[in-house]
């Protein structure tokens, strides 16, 4: 199959599937209402990301048939993908306990780790897959709060993997890219449907697998620093979600409840524009991917120092945005 046909096919699945998902959500009243814990102003259907999950399943089925060498990895990835998307789909219909969702995510992450182990025999890669799957599955859900943000980040990170990694997993990266592009016309610049837990979870879980496999091609173990640059394209989401979560825990807030305290939410609320924030986050991730491409030919110490500098810069930007939120809140109360 040619690359163009592959992209077109998965784009069409994303586009048509999202259109059908929106009709279904409107009929079943699967609607997210505006509120103090949400960043949108109009009632909006949710669950459109089921189309992305469907496209990924189709891609896995094709890879299973056409590339037998990928079967050990896919044997762990596919059950985990179905678990993550399935529990997300149920949660989009009726809210589930966060601890039940976390348990399912843990089982899915263990399945992926087992697949990585069977495919590579590399213990540290299996551990990395377990941790990153748990993190990104939830981070993509946390960060799916304004128009176009989570889906556009999926496109950019998947594009980076497709361009810089080798092997059959490039096809899965292209499937995620194309399906997310099919979803975006319904979600950006003005959202007519949201990814929902089914879409955000499936996207984050898939990206975890892609990044770990790509990093594994560059390094043989954790003692090497060649894996570090692969965290750069994820930096926008990892920093915003991670620092916000740490701040909430430090303030002894109920950190697992929905909120609007992320930097992207603060910025969107203050500027009155989701588009500006989504494009800015996209520019950051595009630059991070370019830095990743450059660092792959650098020495280990340059990799480490460059990565640390990038994350420190991102932390400074996050602190600046949160400080402006605090100042604005103080002025409002006065």
Which residue, among 169, 149, 255, has the nearest Cα to 209 in the 3D structure? 169
> What pLDDT does 281 receive?
97
Rounded CA-CA distance 326/323 in Å is: 5
Q: What is the mean pLDDT of each run of 10 residues along the chain (334 residues)?
A: 94 98 95 68 90 98 94 97 98 93 97 96 94 97 93 98 92 98 96 95 98 84 73 97 92 79 90 93 98 90 93 95 62 40
Model-level pTM? 0.93
Whose structure tokens read 């990170």?
157
Which residue, among 86, 142, 140, 90, has the nearest Cα to 111 in the 3D structure? 86
> What pLDDT does 32 receive?
82
> What pLDDT does 310 receive?
97
Please report which residue ranges of 121-224 form alpha helices under DSSP H: 123-142, 149-164, 169-183, 196-218
Other C-beta atoms lying within 10 Å of the C-beta of residue 118: 14
Rounded CA-CA distance 158/201 in Å is: 15
> What pLDDT does 272 receive?
86
> What pLDDT does 334 receive?
41
């Amino acid at each position: 199959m040619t690359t163009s046909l592959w992209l077109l096919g998965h784009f069409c699945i994303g586009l048509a599937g999202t259109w059908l998902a929106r009709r279904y959500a409107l009929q079943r009243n699967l609607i997210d209402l505006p509120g103090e814990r949400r960043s949108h102003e109009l009632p909006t259907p949710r669950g459109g990301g089921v189309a992305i999950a469907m496209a990924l399943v189709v891609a896995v089925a094709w890879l299973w048939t056409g590339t037998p060498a990928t079967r050990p990895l896919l044997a762990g990835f596919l059950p985990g993908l179905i678990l993550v998307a399935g529990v997300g789909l149920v949660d989009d219909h009726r809210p589930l306990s966060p601890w039940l969702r976390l348990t399912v995510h843990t089982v899915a992450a263990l399945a992926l780790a087992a697949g990585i182990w069977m495919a590579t025999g590399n213990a540290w890669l299996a551990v990395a897959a377990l941790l990153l799957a748990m993190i990104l599955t939830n981070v993509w859900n946390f960060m799916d709060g304004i128009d176009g943000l989570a889906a556009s980040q999926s496109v950019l990170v998947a594009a980076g993997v497709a361009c810089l990694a080798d092997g059959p997993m490039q096809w899965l990266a292209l499937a995620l890219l194309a399906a997310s592009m099919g979803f975006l016309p319904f979600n950006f610049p003005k959202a007519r449907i949201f990814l929902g837990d089914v879409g955000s979870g499936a996207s984050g879980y898939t990206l975890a697998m892609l990044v770990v496999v790509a990093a594994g091609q560059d390094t043989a173990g954790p003692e090497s620093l060649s894996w570090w640059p692969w965290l750069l394209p994820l930096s926008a989401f990892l920093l915003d979600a991670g620092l916000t979560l740490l701040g909430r825990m430090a303030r002894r807030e109920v950190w697992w409840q929905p909120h609007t305290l992320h930097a992207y939410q603060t910025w969107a609320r203050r500027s009155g524009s989701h588009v500006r924030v989504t494009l800015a986050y996209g520019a950051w991730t595009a630059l991070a991917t370019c830095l990743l491409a450059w660092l792959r030919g650098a020495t280990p110490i340059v990799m480490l120092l460059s990565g640390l500098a990038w994350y420190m810069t991102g932390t400074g930007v996050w602190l600046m945005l949160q400080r402006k939120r605090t100042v604005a809140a103080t002025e409002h109360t006065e």
